[in-house]
DNA sequence: ATGAAAGCGCTAACAA
DNA sequence: TTGTTAGCGCTTTCAT
C-alpha cells in the first residue's frame, strides 16, 4: 500500500500526483500556453496541434491543477453552499438541485452546515471565502451581521435560498412562507375549523417555520378561530418529534380540532401517533402542515399541506449564479412559488 | 447593488475581495512571512509581533487566499466526497458525520453526486482530483476501473465508506451488508417464517442492497424457506416506491408470509400500504428491512430492521483521513458494525 | 525571531 | 495560430 508513504514528505514537494502543464507541453512539443488553450477549449488552436496535445495529456495521465488555474485567473469553479442541517431532508433536496445544475457546468459545491447557529454560519462563510468561491448559496434570509458584511463585500454573486426577501443581500430564490401559511389557515377556516393547535420545532432556530407560524396564527385569529394549544420543542425537527410530543400537545386542551405542524416530518409523526393511538383522522382530529414531503403523501391518509419546490429552488439558485458568471443579469428576486395540497387529513 | 458590476471585468484582475498578505505585512510593519506564520499559528513569533499582525488583519478585514496557500504548500484543506444520491436520506446522514468532523479541523467537503452511475462517478473523481483534495471519501466499494486507477494513484488518502471490503483501495469504513441480511433471515426463520417476498430498488444500481438480497435469500433457502415473490423496481428508492408497488408484489403470490424490503424507506411505504388497505401486520403479513431510519421506528408499529451507523461511518471516515494527514497510521479496515432491531412488524 | 529569495502550476496580456 | 513574459498570493528554504 503506497498510501502510507505518501503523507508528510518533509521538505520535499509532492509531485502533486500528475505532472504539470510544462511536462505535457514538452511531450507534445508545444508551449504551455497552447496546452492550456487546448485544455480550456479555446478555439484558436489548429486541429493538428490539438490532437498532439490531447495525445500527450492522455499518455501522461495529466490532471490539471485547478488551484493554480483559479489563482492565476482569479476565477474559481467552486461554489460555497451553506445550509443549516443535513438531517432535515429538505436541505439535501435543495442541495440536489444545486449539484445537478453545477455538475453540468463543471462547477463543484463546497458545503458548510451551520446547525441553525447564526454565529457558526458567519464563521463558516468567512472560512469559505478563503477559497474564493465563484458564488455563494446560503439558506434562509436571516444572518449574523458579520455574515451580511462579508457577503455584501463579496465579489462573487450571492443567492439566499428558501425564503423570499424584499431586499436580498444580492439575489434570492424562495417562496413566501407567510403567504403559504396564510393560505393554509384560510382554507382550514373555510372548512369550518376553529380550534387550532400548533406543534413544531423551536421557532427561533428555524426562522422560516417562525414566519409560517406567525402567518398562520394571525390568520386564524382574524378569521374567528383560536390557537388553543401550542408546543414548540427545542430538538431536531423530524418525524420522531411529532410522534413523541403529540401526547403532551393534546393534553394542553381537550378541544383541539386540528393540529398545524411546523412541517411534514412533524405532521407525519403526529399522524403516526394518531394511527397508533386509534385517534380517527380527520374525524376526531385533523392535521395540516407544510413541505409536501414524500413521507407525508405516502401515509395511509395523505397530508393536507403545501408543496415547496425544494429541488427547483436549488436548481434555480445555481442557475442564477451561473447566469451572473456568464455576464447576464438575472432577476434579483425569484419567487419559486408553492402549491396547496388538499390531502385527507382535514 | 454593487454586485452587478463585479462580474467580468475583462482584462483587469479583481482585487480578490480582501487584500493580500503583502498589504497586511506593510500595515503591520513586518514581512509577509511573519504574517503567514502568525496566521498559521506557528509558535516562533513573539507575542508583540503577533499582536501587531492580528490588529492589522482585523483592521483590513483580511481573508487569506487558500488557493494560493494550497498551491504553494501542496496541501489543500478540502476533501472530496462522492456519494450516489442526496435523495436517499442515508447519504446526507453520512455526510453530516463527515462535515461535523471536518469542521472542527478546519477542513471542508467538496461534494459530488453520481446518481448511482459508475461512469459518472469516475468522471466526478477525475474532476475532483483537479482540486488536489487532501483526502477522498467515496461511498460504496464498487467502482469503474478508471476510478480505481485514479484513486490508487492518488497521493491523498482514500476511504470507501458504507460497505466493508476485504481489499480496499486504501481504507474502508463500513459494515458487512451480507452479514446483516444473513442475521435478519436467521431470526425470521427462527420465528417460523418460511414464505418470503422481496421488494426493493434495482439491485444493479444499489450494490449494497444487492449484497443484502443475496445474503438474505441464500440464508432463507438454506434454512428451508422459500422466496415466493420478488419485485425490484428501477426507480429511486424511497417511501413512495414501497407504497406504490406493494400491490403488485402481493399479487405475485397468495402465500407470502413476510416481505423483506431493500431498506427502511421502502419498508415504511410498504407498511403504509398495509395500514391503508387494512392488512393486519404482522398477523396477515410481516415486514422486515434494513437501515434503522427514524421514519421506520416512528411508524405505529416500529419496523423490524437493522440499524446501520450512518452518522458514525461518516465521522469515522473523516477521522481516518485526518489521522493519515497527521502522520498516524489508522487501520485500513474499520468495521462500524450494526444492530438488530426487534420491531413489531414481525 | 525575522526576513529574502525562489518558486507552486497556471493564465492574462501582449508579441510575433 | 503560437509563444513569451510576468505575475496570481502564498509557503518553503535558507540566511541572519
B67: nearest CB among A17, A76, A324: A76
The Cα A344–Cα A43 span in angstroms is 59
Residue-wise pLDDT tens digits, B57-95: 999 999 999 999 999 999 999 999 999 999 999 999 999
Mean pLDDT of B315-328: 96
Q: Which nucleotides of chain C does any protein CB come within 7 A of? A: 1-5, 7-14
Q: Which residues of chain A, if any, have pLDDT below 50?
A: 1-16
Of A134, A81, A175, A64, residue with least CA distance to B113 = A81
For testing the chain A interface, which of B2, B9, B14, B63 should be mutated: the one with the most A CBs within 10 Å?
Answer: B63
Residues A123 and A22 in one domain: yes
B67: nearest CB among A3, A70, A155: A70
Name the residue in chain A with its Cα closest to that of B154. Answer: A17
Q: Which of residues 31-70 of A touch strand D (CB under 7 A)?
A: 31-34, 37, 43-46, 48-49, 68
Residue B163 is assigned to a structural domain of this protein: yes
Residue B316 is assigned to a structural domain of this protein: yes
Residues B148 and B218 in one domain: no
Residue-wise pLDDT tens digits, B24-48: 999 999 999 999 999 999 888 899 9
Determine the Cα angle at B85 with ends B82 and B90, to 5°. 95
For testing the chain B interface, which of A300, A326, A328 should be mutated: the one with the most B CBs within 10 Å?
Answer: A300
With distances taken from each CA to the C1' atom of nucleotide C5, the closest residue turns out to be B33
Q: Does A253 touch chain B (CB under 8 A)?
A: no
Q: What is the largest CA-CA distance in chain B?
A: 85
The answer to whether the CB atoms of B6 and A299 lie below 8 A apart is: no
Of A280, A239, A285, A287, residue with least CA distance to A260 = A287
Q: Does B339 touch chain A (CB under 8 A)?
A: no
Residue B190 is assigned to a structural domain of this protein: yes
With distances taken from each CA to the C1' atom of nucleotide D8, the closest residue turns out to be A72
Domain encompassing residue A225: 177-307
Residue-wise pLDDT tens digits, A36-45: 999 999 888 9
pLDDT of residue B14: 33
Residues B142 and B16 in one domain: yes
Residues A193 and A287 in one domain: yes
Residue-wise pLDDT tens digits, B282-321: 999 999 999 999 999 999 999 999 999 999 999 999 999 9
pLDDT of residue A204: 86
- What percent of chain B has pLDDT above 90? 89
Residue A244 is assigned to a structural domain of this protein: yes
Interface of A with B in 261-290 (CB under 8 A): 268-269, 272, 275-276
Q: Number of folded domains in chain B?
A: 2
Residue B108 belongs to domain with CATH number: 3.40.50.2300
**What residues contact B105, with CB distance under 8 A and at least 6 apart?**
B322
Residue A70, CA: closest nucleotide via C1'? C10
Residue A216 is assigned to a structural domain of this protein: yes
Residues B9 and B146 in one domain: yes
Residues B232 and B140 in one domain: no
Residue A252 is assigned to a structural domain of this protein: yes
Residues B265 and B160 in one domain: no
pLDDT of residue B18: 76
Residues B158 and B219 in one domain: no
Q: Which of residues 38-67 of B touch strand D (CB under 7 A)?
A: 39-40, 64-65
Residues of B in contact with A333 (CB under 8 A): none
Of B168, B175, B162, B166, residue with least CA distance to B81 = B162
Residue-wise pLDDT tens digits, B236-281: 889 999 999 999 999 998 899 999 999 999 999 999 999 999 999 9
Residues A12 and A159 in one domain: yes
The answer to pTM > 0.75 is yes
Q: Which nucleotides of chain D does any protein CB come within 7 A of? A: 1-5, 7-14
The answer to whether the CB atoms of A329 and B100 lie below 8 A apart is: no
Residue B333 is assigned to a structural domain of this protein: yes
- pLDDT at residue B6 tops 50: no
Cα of B42 to nearest chain A Cα, Å? 16
Residues A196 and A274 in one domain: yes
Residue A213 is assigned to a structural domain of this protein: yes
Q: What is the largest CA-CA distance in chain A?
A: 85
Q: Does B89 touch chain A (CB under 8 A)?
A: yes
Residues B95 and B221 in one domain: no
Of A298, A304, A336, A270, residue with least CA distance to B272 = A298
Name the residue in chain A with its Cα closest to that of B241. Answer: A298
Cα of A67 to nearest chain B Cα, Å? 5
Name the residue in chain A with its Cα closest to that of B265. Answer: A295
Residues A187 and A144 in one domain: no
Of A147, A209, A146, residue with least CA distance to A181 = A209
Q: Does A173 touch chain B (CB under 8 A)?
A: no
Amino acid at each position: 500500500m503506497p498510501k502510507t508513504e505518501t503523507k508528510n514528505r518533509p521538505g520535499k514537494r509532492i509531485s502533486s500526483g500528475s505532472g504539470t502543464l510544462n511536462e505535457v507541453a514538452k511531450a507534445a512539443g508545444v508551449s504551455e500556453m497552447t496546452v492550456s488553450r487546448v485544455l480550456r477549449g479555446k478555439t484558436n488552436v489548429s486541429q493538428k496541434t490539438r490532437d498532439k496535445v490531447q495525445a500527450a495529456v492522455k499518455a501522461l495521465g495529466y490532471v490539471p491543477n485547478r488551484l493554480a488555474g483559479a489563482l492565476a485567473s482569479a476565477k474559481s469553479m467552486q461554489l460555497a453552499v451553506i445550509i443549516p442541517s443535513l438531517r432535515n431532508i429538505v436541505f439535501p433536496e435543495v442541495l440536489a438541485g444545486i449539484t445537478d445544475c453545477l455538475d453540468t457546468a463543471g462547477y463543484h459545491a463546497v458545503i458548510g452546515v451551520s446547525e441553525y447557529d447564526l454565529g457558526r454560519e458567519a464563521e463558516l462563510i468567512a472560512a469559505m471565502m478563503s477559497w474564493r468561491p465563484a458564488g455563494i448559496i446560503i439558506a434562509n434570509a436571516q444572518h449574523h451581521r458579520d455574515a451580511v458584511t462579508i457577503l455584501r463585500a463579496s465579489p462573487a454573486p450571492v443567492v439566499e435560498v428558501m425564503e423570499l426577501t424584499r431586499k436580498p443581500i444580492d439575489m434570492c430564490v424562495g417562496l413566501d412562507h407567510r403567504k403559504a401559511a396564510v393560505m393554509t389557515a384560510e382554507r382550514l377556516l373555510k372548512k369550518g375549523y376553529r380550534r387550532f393547535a400548533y406543534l413544531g420545532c423551536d421557532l427561533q432556530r428555524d426562522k422560516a417555520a417562525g414566519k409560517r407560524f406567525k402567518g398562520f396564527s394571525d390568520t386564524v385569529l382574524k378569521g374567528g378561530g383560536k390557537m388553543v394549544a401550542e408546543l414548540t420543542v427545542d430538538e431536531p425537527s423530524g418525524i420522531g418529534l411529532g410522534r413523541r410530543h403529540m401526547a403532551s400537545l393534546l393534553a394542553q386542551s381537550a378541544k383541539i380540532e386540528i393540529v398545524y405542524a411546523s412541517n411534514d416530518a412533524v405532521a407525519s409523526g403526529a399522524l403516526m401517533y394518531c394511527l397508533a393511538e386509534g385517534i380517527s383522522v380527520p374525524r376526531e382530529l385533523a392535521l395540516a402542515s407544510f413541505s409536501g414531503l414524500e413521507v407525508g403523501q405516502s401515509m395511509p391518509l395523505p397530508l393536507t399541506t403545501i408543496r415547496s419546490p425544494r429541488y427547483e429552488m436549488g436548481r434555480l439558485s445555481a442557475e442564477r449564479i451561473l447566469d451572473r458568471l456568464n455576464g447576464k443579469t438575472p432577476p434579483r428576486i425569484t419567487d419559486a412559488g408553492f402549491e396547496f395540497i388538499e390531502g385527507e387529513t382535514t
